[in-house]
Amino acid sequence: MHVREFQQLIRDRYLETDRARGVPGTYLWFSEEVGELARALGRREQGRLDRANLAEEFADVLAWLTTLANICEVDLEAAIATKYVAGGGPKGVK
């Protein structure tokens, strides 16, 4: 699946609800998912890896980031291509 296809999937399923919630409410959900990912990464570092949960949290963070992009009318695939592909990608240290 390409980024654009995933973004369209999220848009088709959730855009009406997401727009009604708005950017502030959606950002709170996104932040909560980042926190859940942080906890899953912490468990991994402590030797208590739950691979299925870790993968789920990465997927949730990506879904909520995509939701924010949809609300803000940002084409993620185009943004990624512009920043990380065109012209050899960004210069400097990430």
Give me 26's structure tokens: 């959606």
Residue among 2, 28, 20, 18 nearest 69 (CA):
18
- CA–CA separation, 78 and 94 (whole Å): 20
Task: Decide if 2 contacts 77 (C-beta within 8 A).
Answer: yes
Task: Decide if 36 contacts 57 (C-beta within 8 A).
Answer: yes
What pLDDT is recorded for position 61? 98
What pLDDT is recorded for position 88? 83
What pLDDT is recorded for position 57? 98
What pLDDT is recorded for position 94? 64
Tally of CB atoms within 10 A around 66: 22
Q: Give the residues of the chain that fall short of pLDDT 50.
A: none
Enter the pTM of the model. 0.91
